[in-house]
């Protein structure tokens, strides 16, 4: 009974804390770090916020707009092969628009809505960036420059853009379409399965014929190879047969110790003979001394 109670308590503790879904969090209590950088301790971040400085070339704020952007796994379902996506893949605004983005993360992981290519004199690193870890919402504001341009918006977490979390944002007429925007533009590298079509299935009859052919080939190969008893083996056997009676005669009447010592003696003699032979060969080769020219 005690064991059962303990199990129940443990199960309740784990299910209600460690493995529970993270609660949706509205990130409104952010600390302002200056330069448009705001953060909190719960994974909420705004970078490159600009609520009041007009970009060069803008006489006034042309329009004030608000959008809500969702990020999550479920928005990628309509794009085969993708895993993450924003709920929208394209945005368009008038030049010099003041835009407030409410960024909602619907997943229990970290996502971003990151814009690149903004003027660096106004936006640090040319970036406007919203980030939420886990389900939650964060808001940020920026003012667009006056030029017609297409901006990339993406999530910079490893592989999230490659797996589909990217969009394009056009100011005015924009400057064309960016590649690989899900549902908008073609991929830079198209999927191509033409080289990976599997080999046709071989019928049992063809398989039997192939096996027979292989057996014939391997038999032919075996016939071509060297005979089992080579010339070297025959020479060795002959030498052994000739030497055996000599050795028997030599070791006749000896004890085991005497046989061993006499074998060592023979070996020493043999090595000495070989060394002598090599030395005389070397001296023969190196003895080519300069020959004196005959006197005239
Ligand atoms: Cu992401």
Expressed in angstroms and rounded, the spacing between residue 74 Cα and the centre of ligand 1 is 12
Question: If you measure from the C-alpha of residue 160 to the centroid of ligand 1, how many angstroms do you get, rounded to a whole number?
Answer: 5
**CA 114 – ligand 1 centroid, Å:** 10
Question: 165 CA to middle of ligand 1, Å?
Answer: 7
- CA 218 to ligand 1 centroid distance, Å: 58
Distance 73 CA to ligand 1 centre (A): 9
Tell me what the mean pLDDT of segment 261-282 comes to: 89
**Residue 111: pLDDT band by 50, 70, 90 thresholds?**
very high
157-190 confidence digits (pLDDT tens):
999 999 999 999 999 999 999 999 999 998 887 7
Give the integer Cα–Cα distance in Å for 43 and 39: 8
State percent of the chain over pLDDT 70: 85
Strand partners, 129: 47, 114
The pLDDT value given to residue 292: 60
Residue 57 has pLDDT above 60, yes or no: yes
Mean pLDDT of 123-145: 97
Q: What is the mean pLDDT of residues 37-51?
A: 95
Q: Which residue has the higher pLDDT, 154 or 257?
A: 154
Q: Given 3-state DSSP classes, what are the helix, strand and coil percentages for the chain, each rounded to the nearest 5?
A: 35, 25, 45
The Å distance, Cα 38 to ligand 1 centre, comes to 19
Percent above pLDDT 90 for the chain? 56
**What is the mean predicted confidence (pLDDT) over 115-119?**
95
pLDDT exceeds 60 at position 98: yes
Does 206 or 295 have the greater pLDDT score? 206
Q: Could you report the per-residue pLDDT of 185-234, keeping only the tens digit for each?
A: 988 877 776 776 666 667 778 888 888 888 888 888 777 765 667 788 88
Rounded Cα distance, 295 and 150, in Å:
99
pLDDT at 287: 62
DSSP β-ladder status, 85-86 and 38-39: unpaired
Higher pLDDT, 289 or 267: 267
Tokens of 169: 């944002």
pTM (two decimals) = 0.60
Return the structure tokens found at 54: 């007009």
pLDDT for res 78:
92
- Per-residue pLDDT reduced to its tens digit, 5-26: 555 555 555 555 555 567 899 9
Q: If you measure from the C-alpha of residue 77 to the centroid of ligand 1, how many angstroms do you get, rounded to a whole number?
A: 15
* CA torsion through residues 93, 96, 97, 100, sign: positive
CA of 116 to the centre of ligand 1 (A): 16
Mean pLDDT of the chain: 86
Q: Where are the alpha helices (DSSP H) in the chain?
A: 2-16, 204-224, 231-251, 256-286
Work out the end-to-end distance of the chain between its first and last CA atoms, rounded to an integer number of angstroms: 126
Q: Which two tokens stand for residue 228?
A: 């089992």
pLDDT band at 137 (very low <50, low <70, confident <90, very high): very high
Cα–ligand 1 centroid distance for 65 (angstroms): 24
Residue 262 Cα distances to 158, 245, 246, 273, angstroms: 78, 16, 14, 16
pLDDT value of position 1: 57
CB atoms within 10 A of CB 70: 19
Cα 223 to ligand 1 centroid, rounded to whole Å: 66
Ligand 1 mean position, distance from CA 230 (Å): 72
Q: Which of the four pLDDT bands, split at 50, 70 and 90, describes residue 60?
A: very high
Nearest to 149 by CA among 187, 177, 179, 125: 177
H helices within 71-227, ranges in order?
Answer: 204-224
Measured in Å, residue 210 CA sits from the centre of ligand 1 at 53
Ligand 1 mean position to 276 CA, how many Å? 82
Q: How far is the CA of 1 from the centre of ligand 1 (A)?
A: 47
> Which one has a higher pLDDT value, 114 or 208?
114
Specify the DSSP class assigned to residue 171: E
Q: Are the CB atoms for 18 and 10 separated by under 8 Å?
A: no
* CA 93 – CA 97 distance, rounded (Å): 7
Å from CA of 122 to ligand 1 middle:
26
């Amino acid at each position: 009974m005690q064991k059962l109670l303990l199990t129940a308590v443990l199960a309740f503790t784990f299910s209600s804390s460690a493995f529970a879904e993270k609660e949706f969090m509205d990130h409104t209590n952010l600390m302002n770090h200056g330069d448009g950088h705001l953060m909190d301790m719960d994974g909420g971040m705004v970078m490159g916020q600009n609520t009041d400085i007009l970009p060069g070339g803008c006489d006034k704020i042309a329009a004030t707009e608000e959008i809500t952007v969702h990020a999550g796994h479920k928005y990628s379902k309509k794009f085969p092969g993708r895993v993450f996506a924003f709920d929208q893949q394209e945005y368009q605004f008038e030049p010099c628009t003041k835009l407030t983005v409410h960024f909602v993360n619907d997943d229990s992981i970290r996502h971003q809505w990151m814009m690149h290519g903004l003027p660096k004199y106004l936006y640090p690193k040319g970036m406007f960036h919203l980030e939420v870890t886990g389900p939650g919402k964060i808001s940020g504001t920026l003012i667009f420059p006056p030029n017609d341009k297409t901006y990339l918006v993406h999530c910079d977490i490893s592989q999230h853009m490659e797996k589909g979390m990217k969009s394009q944002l056009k100011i005015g007429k924009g400057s064309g379409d960016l590649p690989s925007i899900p549902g908008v533009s073609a991929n830079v590298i198209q999927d191509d399965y033409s080289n990976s079509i599997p080999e046709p299935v071989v019928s049992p009859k063809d398989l039997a014929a192939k096996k027979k052919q292989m057996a014939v080939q391997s038999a032919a190969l075996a016939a071509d190879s060297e005979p089992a008893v080579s010339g070297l083996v025959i020479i060795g056997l002959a030498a052994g047969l000739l030497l055996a009676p000599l050795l028997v005669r030599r070791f006749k009447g000896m004890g085991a110790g005497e046989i061993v010592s006499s074998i060592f003696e023979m070996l020493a003699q043999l090595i000495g003979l070989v060394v002598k032979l090599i030395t005389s060969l070397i001296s023969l080769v190196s003895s080519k001394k300069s020959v004196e020219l005959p006197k005239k």
